Amino acid sequence: MRSQNPLRRLMVRRTWTIAALGLSLLTGTVVLAQTVPQLSGRPNPMENTKSEPLPRWVVDDIRKMRNYPDQPPIIPHSIEGYQLSVNTNRCMSCHKRELTEGSGAPMISVTHYMNREGQMLADVSPRRYFCTACHVPQADARPLVDNTFKDMSELGFKPAGSGQ
């Protein structure tokens, strides 16, 4: 009989440990959910309130300066009604390498013609075919959080060879 007693104690201890762990996870999640600030939306999502007007798209066709070297360029024109599916990509009717001379649009990057191993392809890589996965139109909207980014040049760093 004594051999069953330690086993039973071990089972009870494990049960209490699992229950305590579950309770601490639950309370920790509730506390975390209460302290994380809400970025957008209404405080009470089920309440009927007047919605804010949708931001207007910036459609001035002026290419914007990029904020960092590998940033995908934003789309400076309207893409409303563009078809972007497995079979059709309206962006390619202007931005594909062979069609840029007639359209005047900038050519898509040569990296879009490479596979994952860096080999050049005859056509756009399937993984680069859905443009709006990286490229987005710019909306005239206030940012969700303040931007405190400073470029290296603003911090006093000079390019190499600039003769400090």
Buried-exposed string 71-91: b where 16+ CB fall within 10 A, e elsewhere: eeeebeeebeeeeeeeeebeb
Residue 137 sits at φ, ψ, to 5 deg, of: -70, 155
**What local confidence, expressed as pLDDT, does residue 34 receive?**
61
- Give strand pairing partners of 56: 140
Write the pLDDT tens digit of every residue in 50-103: 877 888 888 888 888 887 778 899 999 888 888 888 888 999 999 998 899 999
- Nearest residue to 136 (alpha-carbon basis) of 95, 87, 82, 79: 79
| More confident: 39 or 16 | 16
**pTM of the predicted structure, to 2 decimals:** 0.58
